[in-house]
Structure formats: C-alpha cells, structure tokens
Structure 1
Amino acid sequence: MDPKDSFSNNLMDGTLFSHIERQQPSLPSVIVIGGGISGIAAARALSNASFKQVLLLESRDRLGGRIHTDYSFGCPVDMGASWLHGVCNENSLAPLIRCLGLTLYRTSGDNSVLYDHDLESYVLFDMDGRQVSQQLVIEIGEKFKRILEETEKVRDEHSEDMSVHQAISIVLDRHPDLRQEGLAHEVLQWYICRMEAWFAADADMISLKAWDQEQLLSGGHGLMKQGYYPVIKALAEDIDIRLNHRVTRIANWFSKVMLTVEDGRCFVADAAIITVPLGVLKANLIEFEPKLPQWKVDAISDIGFGSENKIALHFDTVFWPNVELLGVVAPSSYACGYFLNLHKATGHPVLVYMAAGRFAYDIEKLSDEAAANFVMVQLKKMLPNATDPVQYLVSRWGTDPNSLGSYSYDLVGKPADVYERLQAPVGNLFFGGEAVSLDHSGSVHGAYTAGVMAAEDCRRYVSKQLGNLELLHFVTRDEIVEATVPLQISRM
C-alpha cells in the first residue's frame, strides 16, 4: 500500500462512523479540493505551518485549474489567466513572482477600471477590413467615458439595481448627442465589447451598482511573459497531490469530513477546503450531506459566473503590425473582437483572439478547426497578406466540466453581503477560490489570497477543535524576498 494512504485510507470497508472510531490521527488532517492557484495556495500555507497531513484532490490531469499555460507552440501561451492585475509590491503574488524572477509586460497604467490595456498600441478595423482612424477611436473613447459618467447619475436616481446595458440606454435617450451612427456606432460597440471582456459577461448581465466598485491595486496590469505555470509549479512543490480525483460527494458528520471521488474511493479528514470554481458549485456537481444551508446556496446563486475563451494562433512568420491589439469593430458588441499580439510582448509569433460572454459560449459550439477558421476570416480581411497558422488552440472554459465558466462578476441585484456569505465556513468546510475574494474577485491574486485566508481560518478551527496543538503560524517562503526588490517589468 502507498504510505500516503495511511492518511487518506481511501478504501472504505465499513461505515463512516466505525471508520472514524478506529482512525484517530495524532496530527490534524485537511483535504483541499481543487488544484487551481487558490487550492494550491491553501495547501502550501497549511504545509508551511505544522500541518503534516494535507492532501489536495484535483479533478483534472494537470494542476492550475483556470490557469493553463500551454507549451505546444514551443513557447508559453496562457489559455486561461494571463495577467497580474496590479503590478506593485502590495499585490499578494508579487513576492513569489519576484522570487521566481518572472517578467511582466505592462499593458496598462494605473486606474484602469475596465481594461487590461491602454489604447496606446492598437489598430482597429471594420468588418470589411478597412482601418479605423485613430482620431475617431479617441473621440469615441471620450464619449464612452461621458456615457459611463452619466450612468452614475442614473445609479444615484434609482434605489433598485439595473444592468449597465439598461443604464446606457437611459443615458442615450436623455442625451441624443451621445448617440453614434455608422462607423462611430461600431467603435462605441467595440468599447462596450472590451468592457464585457473585463467581466466575461454581456452588459445586460452586469450590475450598474457594482461594476466600478472593485478595489484596484496600483501599477496597472501586466502580462506574464513566461506564463503563470511557474507560479503554480513553485507553490505545488512537495504537496501531496492526487490528480484525476473528481470529488462528487462531501459528507460532514461527527467533526469529520468524508469525501467521495468519482470512482467510489473515500477520504476522511478533520476539515476540508473547497476551492472548486463557482460554476461547479452552481451546477450542483458535488453532493453535500447534510445539504448546504440556504444562506450558502443563495450566495452561490447570487454571484454571476462568466466565460471568456481564447483562440491562439501560431504562425511561422509575423505579418501583422507591431501593436499590442488588433481590434474588430461591428454594429453590435457581440460581433466585435480583438487579437492580442504576443509577439510584441514575448517575441513569439502568436496572436490570441479573445471572446467573452455569450459569444464565448457560442464559440464553443464550433469545432477547434471551425473556430480557428472563423477568426482567420476576420484576420485576412484586416491583413490580406495573412498566412494560415501552423498550429492553433481553442479554450472551452464554459463547457469544461471542471470549471463551467471563467471567473465571477456582479449580477444585477447582488446582495451587499453575498461575498461574505460565500466565503463563510460551514462547520469544518472552508471556501476559497477567486469568487470568494471580497475585494479582488475574478483575479489570480484574489484567488491566491482567498486560498491563504481559507487555510488560516481552517488552521484556527482545527486548533480549537483538537486542542493543545502547538500549531505554527504561517511562514511562507515568499517572505524572504525583500519588498525593495523590484518586479521585472517591460514594455516595448
């Protein structure tokens, strides 16, 4: 028998109660569910304390969750999370990124509430491939700012929440001068499309009261030039991890938690930290016994979970201009889109097409080949000398049963305390993941911090329950890196 199984005792041959009676570990045991950065951060934090019996169960055949750095192009391409939102020492991931010597390519400065890019390096085209003048893009950008400022007045006038889309409609009815026609209207729709990409949801789903309330860190946004996987790899070092272990049931009895995985094996511990994506919880893919309390069920329901997909194209030559973004404007935000130019940031001949909201889900209805062909039609209109890609990748976060979406956002009518309720423990069950981050949901550093916080809450609980355990305070290896060591940042 694998010596690790002395902890998990994963072949149950009796009832839960008799099993618990005969297994009395001398040290606290915790199971972490989910191998994304939040789950790995929780396991790392517990492992760095006095917890010697920490087990992480991951449903996929790889670590990282919605962080997925693909190397099949011969270079790192992040098909999931790829930015550090807040390139500053105050970011919770900054110490580890510094320690690993990873480089960031800054794509925007401070106070970017809506976009992970400044419009300093871009080219936009209409759907027929005609280039849009930069002067028009700048003018419409200023008008979009005015529209958003006017939506603040709409928000102040209404006690009930509404969608950003509805508020924009009210503003345009009040101020016909802000309405646009023709190409100007298409550029305005592109700005709305970029806003929707930030939330991975359509504007008619986004809360007017909450959309601009995020607590932004300074330093703008930085693309991880080497991808995010080195961060995952460093955090996962020496953690007891079981891949291909999909948890289907969580039973919580007599101060113990028993987890059942898809093949019927069971694992028992003093506590569990649940970091699966919100989409998995919404779909009820894990059975809880006893059932989760209604306040927790409501919290899961009251937070939105959007989708953003990427179509990465690898070329043998670079035929596009040396800009960060190649955008497509259209009569509706649904039909707009943009290509991220990784060549400018990393030197590799890769373009990544981004699709969010309903469009992201519709992309998943296509085969990989059809999806690649769809975006290549747009690219060849923009750049007639475009060559076919030698390789392509298509993400499918919305239908992936391990995620069922990309990241959370604020639904219309979201209760004020919804994040606190989603984060709150239920007995010896603790919750992590980006969706429970009170101030930085939808971000990698928010997920990381939520995992560390869940681990600390779990440590306090187990210490109190078991008593007389001299549990160490968390000491992370990141703390050895002085804050004066700068992050490595480039912008070409």
Structure 2
Amino acid sequence: MDTIISIIGGGISGLFASLELSNAGFTNITVYEASDRLGGRIHSVPGLGNSGKRLDLGAHWIHGRGGNPVWRYVQEEKLKLSENASGDADGLYLLPGGIEIEDNILEKTEKVLDKIRDDLEELTSEDVGFKSVGEYYDEKFQEYLNENEIDSERVETMKVIFNWFRLWDMADSGTGDMKLQSVSSWSEYIDHSMEELDYEPNIENGYQVLVEHVYNKIKDKVTVKLNAKVNKIYWDQNPIQLEIRNSESNSLCLVASDEVIISVSLGILKKHHSTLFQPKLPANKIQAIEELGFGLMNKIFLYYDQPFWSKDNPGVQLMHKTKITGKSIINGGKYGERLELW
C-alpha cells in the first residue's frame, strides 16, 4: 500500500507501530527520531568494571507476562532471558544503623497493607469517599492501629514499614505523592499475570536487545531517520505537512504525509504541544495532556569488586523513622526538567 505514513518518535512504541504496519502491507513508512539513537526510554549502556554486561538506564524488566505484548514478542521471537531476574521488594529490611526489622512485625504489617491495597482494587472513589490513594492508605492504616491493641514501640515500627510501603508504591506508580494518585483510575491499571512466578524476567544483555531485534526486522522495509526533530505538524492540511529540522546539518524541510502517528513521551507533549501542533489541538486533547501526570524513578548504580550481600537474597530495603515526602525531582529546577523530558 502506498499510503505515506510518518511515525514521530523512535522509541519502542514507534518501532513496534512501524513493524505492525509493515507486516500489514504498508510500504511507505518513515520513523523520525529527534535524538541520535533509537529506543527512547530504553537505553542500555556498557556496564561498570570488566563485566562485559550492559546497564539499563531506562526500562529494565518485563513487567508481567500473560497478555503483555513485550512478553509475547520475546517468547515468539525466542529472545534470550537473563539468569538474573528482577525481584520486587526482596531481601533485608533495615532500619538506620543496619538494624533488621523483626520478621513477625514485618510480615504482620505487610499482610495488613496488602489487604488495604487489595481492597482498593475493587473500589472506586465513590465507594470509599476518597479521591486519592494516599488519603485512603492513611485512613485505613490508622483505622487498623486504632482498632487493635498494639504496644507503642511496635506501632512505631509498623509506621516505619507503612512509610516505606508508600514510597514503594510511589515508585511503582510513577508519582511523587500518592495523594496525586486517583482512586477512580487505580483499578483501571492492567497488571499482567506473573504466571505463578514471583520475579520479573530480564532480557539477556539489556533491554536494548529488544530495540535492536525490532529494528533488524524493519530496517529493509521502513525508513528510519535519526537527528530528525519534528518542529511542527500542520495537521489540518491534506496531506499533512511536517516541518523537520536535521540537528546535524541544521537544515529545515517540509514533508507531506497521509497519516501521522505520534509516539513521543508525555513529557515532550507537555512541553511542546502548543507549538508542535498547527493549529492547536482541540481543548479536550490539551486538557488530557496537561492533566495527565508522569512521575519518574531514578536509578543509582554502585560497583563493588566483591559482593557483601547474600547472592541468594540480594535485596536491601532501607527503612526510615522519619517520614519522607518523596518530593518529585521534576520540581528540581533545570535538572529535574531535563530528567522528566528524557
């Protein structure tokens, strides 16, 4: 089919879109990527030391199996999985000073918190009378403490675990504050089946392997242009006109396209939608872009000559007696803004 299709953004969603379209018989597809690499939030780099392994600065593990399209692709294409899978809140739970929390207190508190979360899965904001997940957590956990006779020292330890639980959910939900997480949308999240396994699979030698694999399947069917930043989309014209700047030569050109797929990140849309789309998008689209939130999870990689932790149970969860607000780095000036838009 000769339909001219332009895909803006060379992340994994843009690459998969080009793969699906080429498989469907479309022959005139171009992917425009503003940076000098493909993958977007998937970004594997050489590891530290002499391990020969890659580090994933962005996406790391395959989040669930079941109907997860990434998992289906990995299985169908027989991509090799790493022997080192990703756990979830595993290992030791330590208070300041390296003091390990007693198992019985930890297990009891986790059971209470898991029930609070499980109950929320079946509810809406109208059912519980709260708009935010953070408010719901606070209220239900305090109710439990009030309704049970627990000595003060144990209560303080349980509060420490509760604080960690909220921080863990903040990272898992991609928000800087659970009071910004909507109750009404909580149950809409698709949590793919773990298929009775308690770990998340990792792709051998980094998530970039997925990007490379998809690219190798499309490279002879799809045109991919790097350093090609789309400045403006004249979407009311027929055909649609794209203003594209090449960052290497600084040259500007107009490209006609019958269909356009936008696969850039929400951060890019938030910053550029008012100038990117000509004319401006309808009010409902602008409202959706501006009101949708997207937090971030940061990684810090530490390299040791020898492990000091147990290889059988490698996780370390750091607990804090004082409440941590979890203020988003998005509010951290120019560096926060750069990270959000990455």
TM-score, structure 2 length as denominator? 0.81
Letter in 2 for 1:70: V
Deviations 1:26-78 (A, max 9, x none): 92211110011000011122223332221111112211101111124331211
Letter in 2 for 1:279: G
Structure having the higher strand fraction is 1
SS in 2 for 1:400: helix
What's 2:255 paired with? Answer: 267
**Contact 1:163–1:206 under 8 Å retained in 2:** yes
Q: 2:184 aligns with which of 209, 221, 225?
A: 209
Cα distance in 2 between the residues matched to 1:43 and 1:206:
33
Q: 1:278 to 1:105 in 2, by over 3 A?
A: farther
SS in 1 for 2:183: coil
Q: 1:107 to 1:135 in 2, by over 3 A?
A: farther
In structure 1, runs of 5+ residues without a counterpart are 1-25, 109-115, 336-356, 367-395, 406-492
TM-score, structure 1 length as denominator? 0.58
Letter in 2 for 1:167: Y
Cα distance in 2 between the residues matched to 1:173 and 1:154:
20
Which runs of structure 2 are paired with 1:235-246 in the superposition (5 Å)?
235-237=214-216, 238=219, 239-246=222-229
What's 1:435 paired with? Answer: none
What's 2:201 paired with? Answer: 222
What's 2:71 paired with? Answer: 94
**Contact 1:32–1:54 under 8 Å retained in 2:** yes
Which runs of structure 2 are paired with 1:29-428 in the superposition (5 Å)?
29-73=4-48, 74-88=52-66, 90-98=67-75, 99-103=77-81, 117=88, 121-148=90-117, 155-158=125-128, 162-175=131-144, 176-177=146-147, 181-201=155-175, 202-218=177-193, 219=195, 221-237=200-216, 238=219, 239-262=222-245, 263=250, 264-284=252-272, 286-322=275-311, 323-331=313-321, 334=324, 358-361=327-330, 399-400=337-338, 404=341
Q: 1:76 to 1:198 in 2, by over 3 A?
A: same
Q: 1:185 to 1:233 in 2, by over 3 A?
A: same
Q: Cα RMSD over matched residues?
A: 3.0
**Contact 1:33–1:275 under 8 Å retained in 2:** yes
Shift of 1:242: 1.4
**Contact 2:92–2:315 under 8 Å retained in 1:** yes
Cα distance in 1 between the residues matched to 2:254 and 2:321:
54
SS in 1 for 2:324: helix
Shift of 1:156: 4.9
Q: 1:269 to 1:400 in 2, by over 3 A?
A: same
Q: 1:185 to 1:44 in 2, by over 3 A?
A: same
Cα distance in 1 between the residues matched to 2:328 and 2:203:
25
Cα distance in 1 between the residues matched to 2:333 and 2:235:
39
Cα distance in 2 between the residues matched to 1:261 and 1:330:
49
What's 1:486 paired with? Answer: none
Letter in 2 for 1:139: K
Cα distance in 1 between the residues matched to 2:237 and 2:183:
44
Q: How many residues align?
A: 316
Cα distance in 1 between the residues matched to 2:244 and 2:304:
41
Shift of 1:236: 1.4
Shift of 1:145: 2.4
Cα distance in 2 between the residues matched to 1:290 and 1:130:
60
What's 1:440 paired with? Answer: none
Structure 1 vs Structure 2: percent identity of aligned residues? 25
Shift of 1:266: 2.5
**Contact 1:67–1:78 under 8 Å retained in 2:** yes
Letter in 1 for 2:172: W
Deviations 1:237-290 (A, max 9, x none): 213211122222111244212222344333221111100001111223552112
Moved over 6 A (4+): none
Q: 1:105 to 1:358 in 2, by over 3 A?
A: farther
**Contact 1:105–1:224 under 8 Å retained in 2:** no
**Contact 2:12–2:40 under 8 Å retained in 1:** yes
Cα distance in 2 between the residues matched to 1:27 and 1:314:
52
**Contact 1:127–1:329 under 8 Å retained in 2:** yes
Cα distance in 1 between the residues matched to 2:8 and 2:223:
12
SS in 1 for 2:338: coil
Deviations 1:289-315 (A, max 9, x none): 121111211222332211111111222
Shift of 1:103: 0.7
Deviations 1:209-256 (A, max 9, x none): 222332332225323343211111111121321112222211124421
